[in-house]
Structure 1
Amino acid sequence: MTMSVNPGHIPVKGDSLPEDRYLDREESWLRFNQRVLELAEDPALPLLERVRFLAIFASNLDEFFMVRVAGLTRRMATGLAVQSASGRLPREVLERTSEVAHELMLRHASVFRDEVLPELSKEGIEILRWDELSQTEQERLHRLFRERIYPVLTPLVVDSAHPFPYISGQSLNLAVIVRDPDTEATMFARVKVPPVLPRFISASPDRFTPLEDVIAAHLDQLFAGMEVVEHHVFRVTRNQDLEIDEDISEGLLQALERELLRRRFGPVVRLEVEESISPEVLELLTGELGIEERQIYRLPGPLDLAGLHAIADLDRPELKYPPFVPSKDALPLDTDIFAAIRERDVLVHHPYDSFTTTVQRLIEEAAADPRVLAIKQTLYRTSGDSPIVDALIDAAEAGKQVVVVVELKARFDERANIEWARKLEQAGCHVVYGFVGLKTHCKLSLVVRQEADGTLRRYCHIGTGNYHPKTARQYEDLGLLTAAPDVGEDVSELFNHLTGYSKQTSYQRLLVAPRTLRSGLIQRFEREVDHHLAGRPAHIRIKCNGLVDEAIIDALYRASLAGVPVDIWVRGICALRPGVPGLSENIRVRSVLGRFLEHSRIFAFENGGDAEVWLGSADLMHRNLDRRVEALVRVTDRAQRADLVRLLDMAMDDGTASWWLSGDGTWTRHQYADPPQGGEGGRGEPLLDIQRHLMKTRRWRTVEG
């Protein structure tokens, strides 16, 4: 790849950059899921954690097809699809996506069958097909079938009086061919595998068989008097992205409920079949479902390995990560939480710092504190038994003013959010559903408290993750707890913007999308260029979940061309090409995957030697910068800024285990040091596991404290 920028010329916005400077977004996402699969392939990980990663890979891929592939297919069908930023036409994107997805799904099935299953068997955990079960186990399952499975099955036959049935998305099904022994006529029937039953049925302790195998073994009972000629398992994935017309006059909540009902009937985007399926049955399915050859995925059984979560949940602690107890040192329980936050900003890092004793505790104590007058809160995702929601209800019932901005359109959590919105309203909370056309994705809490001297003080939390106590133990996130007046004013203004008609666009310590976040970051990229050209320290460090926005990427390319080092720590998608001569020699991109889901977003600028660091909810994606309300907060405490910069540098260090992105879009895992010189093959010592290091650091800090 060559550049049109002249050597020594400082690039500006008007300068041209290569047309092929972006990696394809969809393939980049698939390569992220490939990294998840590589964790499942890693024999150094505890066995049931490998099983978990197999399940996560399958769940991730389901969502990818339901949303990304489905969205592109829908846009093509309506004539709205255009050439992607990577230069691929829509049809080329779908073809390449299908090619890579086929490769990864076969690899996933192979890892399960050839690597993980034998290892499970060595540990006394077996997943067996029906014919591999003992006679005693089969007899037990005969009884189970009659008592628990048969009553919920509904075989649907296709004939002149019964059309081909609707196949719901994500459902597992049996395609059955039966013959009438009197007339010799054959018919097709579909039996849906009930999702209300366990994916893998226990035949005896630690021995399981797929639910569809149990059903298949009893088809003669479902089709009494008929001859079962053949049966095959198949699974359909449909478009499940929401299409809400937010300009309609009726309420968003009612519109969303109606759309959730329609979601089940989206077009088919993938058909998974066991590789043993007969050509005749496959032809019938493809014809009735109206799909193309590239949408068919032939796989070894069993299908739907997302159900392996149940196996990963088995009570075998010796086959899992060792237990980890988050630190409570950030805000010790014997301290006055309001006094502690008044004294100085508190930076919390989950799951290493306890969410329960910091963020959740702030809301719960605010709800119970008679000096607290009001609580304002954004909720994007939360748990089914949320202590945060319970605390907000308690506060409202105690007479406090409680305002909750609920994002109803949080993907795949819409129904739960509708339920919580209604529960909050019934308790007397003021519930707001955000803006038409924008998702409220920022993570904000505001507590207004009257102090002993009569003054009002605002206590704020600005975070990178959802107010979800369960995922806070699995997701890596950051949060800033502060009583700083400038942040309190900013957060108050932002809540007024969310709930009223305020058109506030400038803030003291916040950058807010969609108005100022992209431009604010790009201005800081350009400032680093100015520092570098003036001989002052300059360095751009970013941690995010996804990097796709072309304006951001181009600004980073220009910073690199000017000589500014750029380090990017990204979990998922990255459309930027690092290390390309004449474009991005000064850019490195790394990815860390492991026990915890890396979820925080950090933006750090060397700023001539006085580091400026921001954290918040926004990824560098079009949806975050243009179609969501996002917020970043500037961290002002010098020690906290230094901690965050050290964290970023640790992740980018060559001695830390990570995946490295190359300019052609391939990711290479760096897990072990090079073997010593003179060594005979093999590999060197394991590189630093940053998550394990942080867990140990928190433990040491707890002991020393």
Structure 2
Amino acid sequence: MDTPDLYDRSLYINRELSWLEFNRRCLAEANDPENRLLERVKFLAICHGNMDEFFMIRVPGLILRRSPGMMLDAPDNMDPDTLIRTLSSEVQVLVREYSECWKELKRLLYREGVRIRTVESLSSEQRAWVSNFYRTRVHPVLTPLALDVSHPFPFISNNSLNLAVRLDRKGETLHARVKIPVGTFPRFVRIPSEQGGSDFVLLEDIVRHSAHMLFPGLTVEGAYPFRVTRNADIKVTIDEACDLMSAVEESIEGRDTGFAVRMMVDDEMPRDMVSMFGNNLKLTKMQIHKSGGAMMLTDLWEIANLDIPSLREEPLTPFTPPELSEEASLFPAIKERDWILYHPYESFSTIVRLINEAASDPGVQSIKICLYRVGRDPPVVQALRKARERGKTVSVLMELRAKFDESNNILWARELERIGVHVVYGPVDLKVHSKMLQIVRLEGDKLVRYTHLSSGNYNVGTARQYGDISFLTANQEIGEDVGELFNTLTGYFGPRVYNHILVAPVTLKGRLIEMIDREIRHMCASGDGYIAFKANGLIDSDIIAALYRASMAGVKVDLNIRGLCCLRPGVPGISDNIRVISIVDRFLEHARIYYFNNGGDPEMYMGSSDMMPRNLVARVEVIFPVLDREMMRQVKESILDVHLADNVKARNLLSDGRYVPVERRGPPLRSQQWLLENRGIWHG
């Protein structure tokens, strides 16, 4: 029997289609009547945000690769033209489903006293309020732009909301464009309510209703919302004359001005107007989508964040182990034993408090940290500022190229430099995605390293919304590893030998494949091969091929992959022994756990890296071993196995790339709810 080609394109699900499947799973949550209403609104906002990012980041690369015979650098090797046609069809189906979902959510919101109104449906008093709001607040900031031979076609910025206006001047048809000032004003404008609850009107509806004031002497025949999405996949180019920060700043300036990728138009926009805008933007028919009344629903966060407790999930009260409570110093507790915290079920404030304590502790000599996404008003940065003010040596590796957070990171890098923090940006050719903190403390006549490693960012906002693993240890060998890696990143990056941690792009991928192959040997020797992974994405073809080899040898493989997955499970003779589930629920699944049974001597790694080429080859990533056997058992049984047993929010990946709800056998188990009710149980 011939050995199958495990890199055959038919064995791989297309990455972009997998992305759209993830959006379908988010949409399923928006449609789920078991979810609280504002939670459903949140998921619809997430769907639109994901779709925007898809068109800004993924689609431009496909367009640029469109040439005869050219194939994509992807496991499935689909040609760009075929993929673009397929995506266009799939996206239009999704947009229609978004529209139907939004209609239903609006109906349910109305019933709960949250009314999204049209100007025409308002009372005379409310219309008077809207007219005054427009005249005194909105009208002064608007700039109508004529579209004719004497005016150049205006630049339409990325993801801006606009009105295309059709006008009549004594029988002559004219056109204009008006940019809607979303950001200056809320998209959903709250107006005085006459019947309790809350009434909102869309900002573009307010402008449309009063558009005649922008064009005196002309008749407004129609005003139609539209939106253009542009290429935002910036490339940072560095030459001898500039540094990394300058190069990133220069690159992000072009984010709003990239070539147009998609235009969404109001369903009622006349065809000739659609063609006029499409031609000027150099868009094909496949790149123009009707909105179905679901235009720019990323702004639904304004509704999702309304303070209506009855429509929201119960507030989360994170657990803090008694040994890590605020009454005692954290250093003795960490020195006594290793700690694994699972956020948001456990409080991220413990990590912030550790940095604050280090800032004040007279024994602390230095603090080193990698920052990737820190947020707008980061307590972690404030703690580092305090440490520097108190004379500590503080070193920060700030990754300036964190997508869509570049400007914020540059701002904080400059602020930290201003107060005397050592700020570095890492290797030019590698994005630093590892999450590391190290505190060096003088205890007696010895220096002790306290280390924090994580799957998530030092960001208190996302720490309340993402499921992430934190690891706190005073293990000196792990401390030496992390200290060595910090020195490598602030000096010159290159190969190093580490005691325990696995580092991409140096050792991580190769070691993962070695451990998969080791499981095959155990399976052949004793029949107890088992692998379980929890990650955000699985795309790397070498890792997938290794998992196929394991499955063919009889190794049972359980994969909990939240997002993109190119592995095709259930292929006879290839992946029969591989099960893939995805969980989309209240918190974004973001933890990475890699478990190998290893013939009864199990190994578990956790950390920042997914199984994607960008993580394994183009980024600095760290995963760390769980050395304590009892801790490993607790994490496996109380975290990893619980997620794998989910039969409420989990969906199975089929061999054709579709996801279906897991068949429920036995009592319902919603893993995130179980973890909320049993938070901290993994401490034993």
Instruction: Identify the match of residue 44 of structure 1 among 16, 23, 34.
Output: 34
Q: Which residue of 2 aligns with 1:567?
A: 558
Deviation at 1:655, TM superposition (A): 4.4
Give, in whole Å, the separation in 2 of the partners of 1:166 and 1:543. 44
**Structure 1 counterpart of 2:162, from 152, 155, 173:** 173
Out of 100, 107, 111, the position equivalent to 1:122 is 111
Q: Determine if contact 1:382/1:467 at 8 Å carries over to the other structure.
A: yes
Q: Is 1:632 the counterpart of 2:623 in the alignment?
A: yes
In the alignment, residue 20 of structure 2 is paired with which amino acid?
L
Look up the equivalent residue of 1:5 and give its one-letter code. T
Which of 144-153 and 298-307 deviates more? 298-307
Deviations 1:281-315 (A, max 9, x none): 11111111110111111122251111111111111
**Alpha-carbon deviations, 1:383-436, whole Å to 9, x = none?**
211111111111112221111000000000000000000000001001001111
Decide whether aligned partners of structure 1 residues 203 and 81 sit closer, same or farther in structure 2, where only a CA change above 3 A counts. farther
Amino acid in the other structure paired with 1:495:
F
Asked if residue 260 in structure 1 is aligned to residue 249 in structure 2, the reply is no
Determine which of 415, 424, 435 is the counterpart of 2:416.
Answer: 424
Does 1:490 pair with 2:490?
A: no
In structure 1, runs of 5+ residues without a counterpart are 7-14, 675-684
| Counterpart Cα distance in 1 of 2:634 and 2:88 | 43
Once residues 563 and 249 of structure 1 are traced to their aligned partners in structure 2, the CA distance between those partners, rounded to angstroms, is 56
Q: Is the counterpart of residue 359 in structure 1 residue 347 in structure 2?
A: no
Which residue of 601, 614, 639 corresponds with 1:610? 601
Q: 1:407 to 1:41 in 2, by over 3 A?
A: same
AA in 1 matched with 2:3? V
Map of 1:678 onto structure 2:
none
CA distance in 2, matches of 1:81, 1:16: 19
- Measured at CA, do residues 536 and 336 of structure 1 come closer, stay the same or move farther in structure 2, by a change above 3 Å? farther
TM-score (ref. length: structure 1)? 0.93
Given that residues 138 and 203 in structure 1 are in contact (C-alpha distance below 8 angstroms), is that contact kept between their aligned partners in structure 2?
no
**Would you say 1:72 and 2:55 are equivalent positions?**
no
Question: Which of the residues 272, 293, 297 maps onto 2:289?
Answer: 297
CA distance in 2, matches of 1:509, 1:401: 26
Cα shift at 1:638: 1.4
* Residue in structure 1 matched with residue 140 of structure 2 by the alignment: 151
- Change in Cα spacing, 1:492 to 1:699, as seen in structure 2 (3 Å) is closer
Quote the residue 1:191 is aligned against.
178
SS in 1 for 2:420: coil
Return 243-252 or 480-489, whichever deviates more: 243-252
Q: In 2, distance between residues paired with 1:341 and 1:387?
A: 21
Query: In the alignment, which of 326, 331, 336 is matched to residue 333 of structure 1?
Result: 326
User: Aligned with 1:569: secondary structure?
Assistant: strand
- Give the match for residue 202 of structure 1: 190
Secondary structure, aligned partner of 2:65: helix
Q: Residues 527-546 of structure 1: matches in 2 within 5 Å?
A: 527-535=518-526, 537-546=528-537
Superposed, 1:55-66 pairs within 5 Å as 55-66=45-56
The 2-side partners of 1:701 and 1:204 are apart by: 50
Aligned counterparts of 2:73 and 2:452: Cα–Cα separation in 1: 41
Cα separation, 1, equivalents of 2:136 and 2:149: 33
Is 2:491 the partner of 1:503?
no
1:657 and 1:671 in contact (8 A); partners too: no
> Are the equivalent residues in 1 in contact too, given 2:551–2:575 (CA < 8 A)?
yes
Residue 130 of structure 1 and its aligned partner are, at CA, apart by 2.0
Q: Give per-residue Cα distances to partners, 1:336-378, cap 9 Å, x unaligned.
A: 200011111111110011000x211111111111110100000
Matched with 1:5 is 3
Normalising by structure 2, we get a TM-score of: 0.96
TM-superposed CA distance for 1:159, in Å, is 2.4
Q: Does 1:274 align with 2:274?
A: no
Residues 85 and 693 of structure 1: CA distance in aligned 2, closer, same or farther (over 3 Å): same
Q: What is the letter of the counterpart of residue 616 of structure 1?
A: G
Please point out which of 632, 640, 653 is paired with 1:641: 632
Conservation of the 8 A alpha-carbon contact between 2:70 and 2:80: no
User: Given the superposition, is the C-alpha separation of residues 700 and 569 from structure 1 closer, same or farther in structure 2, using an over 3 Å criterion?
Assistant: closer
Q: Equivalents in 2 of 1:520, 1:699: separation in Å? A: 31
Q: Secondary structure at the match of 2:253?
A: helix
Q: Cα–Cα, structure 1 residues 649 and 352, in superposed 2: closer, same or farther, change >3 Å?
A: same
CA distance in 2, matches of 1:163, 1:701: 64
Question: Are the counterparts in 2 of residues 541 and 603 from structure 1 also a CA contact under 8 Å?
Answer: yes
1:22 aligns with 2:12: yes
> 1:80 Cα deviation (Å)?
7.4
Q: Secondary structure at the match of 1:264?
A: helix
Is 1:662 the counterpart of 2:654 in the alignment?
A: yes
Where does residue 215 of structure 1 map in the other structure?
207
Give 1:16 shift. Answer: 5.3
Q: Say if 2:427 and 2:493, in contact at 8 Å, map to a contact too.
A: no
Which amino acid is 1:180 matched to?
R
Contact 1:578–1:585 (CA<8 Å) still a contact in 2?
Answer: yes
| Equivalent position amino acid for 1:202 in 2 | R
Q: Residue by residue, what CA displacement relative to the aligned partner does 1:590-626 show, whole Å, maximum 9, x if unpaired?
A: 1111110000000011011121000000011110011
- Cα contact 2:478–2:500 (8 A) shared by 1: yes
Q: Are 1:285 and 2:293 matched, yes or no?
A: no
Please say if residues 465 and 599 of structure 1, whose CA atoms lie closer than 8 Å, have aligned partners that are also in contact.
Answer: yes
Shift of 1:260: 1.5
**DSSP-derived class of the 1:431 partner:** strand
422, 425, 430: which one aligns with 1:438: 430
Q: Equivalents in 2 of 1:560, 1:302: separation in Å?
A: 43
Once the two structures are TM-superposed, the CA of residue 257 in structure 1 deviates from its matched residue by: 1.2
Q: Aligned AA for 2:22?
A: F
1:135 equivalent in alignment to 2:133: no
Asked whether the 8 Å contact 1:127–1:209 carries over to 2, the reply is: yes
- Counterpart AA for 1:650: V
Q: Can you list the C-alpha shifts for 1:105-140, whole angstroms capped at 9, x where unaligned?
A: 110111111x21111111111112222222221111
Q: CA deviation at 1:232?
A: 1.0
Deviation at 1:247, TM superposition (A): 4.3
Q: Over residues 182-219 of structure 1, what are the superposed CA-to-partner deviations in whole Å (9 max), with x where a residue is unaligned?
A: xx332211000002210111123411111100000111
Aligned residue for 2:679, secondary structure, equals helix
Q: Is the Cα contact below 8 Å between 1:210 and 1:302 reproduced in 2?
A: no
Corresponding position of 2:341:
348
Contact 1:494 1:504 (C-alpha < 8 Å) held by counterparts: no
- Judge conservation of contact 2:634–2:682 (CA < 8 Å) in 1: no
State the SS of the aligned residue for 1:457: strand
Q: Which position in structure 2 is the counterpart of 1:11?
A: none
- C-alpha distance in 1, partners of 2:114/2:586? 22
**Which residue of 592, 601, 607 corresponds with 1:601?**
592
| Counterpart pick for 2:72 among 72, 82, 89 | 82
Maintained 8 Å contact 1:62/1:237? yes
Cα distance, 1:644–1:148 mapped onto 2, change above 3 Å: same
Which amino acid letter does the alignment assign opposite residue 217 of structure 1?
H
Contact 2:537 2:564 in 1 (8 A): yes
Task: Report the secondary structure of 1:534's partner residue.
Answer: helix
What letter corresponds to residue 34 of structure 1 in structure 2?
A: R
SS of the equivalent of 2:352 reads: helix
Q: What is the correspondence of 1:581-596 to structure 2 with a 5 Å cutoff?
A: 581-596=572-587
Contact 2:69-2:79 at 8 Å conserved across structures: no
2:673 aligned with 1:692 = yes
Q: 2:682, 2:337 → 1: CA distance? A: 19
* Structure 2, unaligned runs of 5 or more: none
Give how far 1:701 is off. 9.6
Offset, 1:470: 1.0
Q: Tell me the number of residue pairs that the alignment of Structure 1 and Structure 2 aligns.
A: 677
Q: Which residue is 2:439 aligned to?
A: 447
Is 1:412 aligned with 2:410? Answer: no
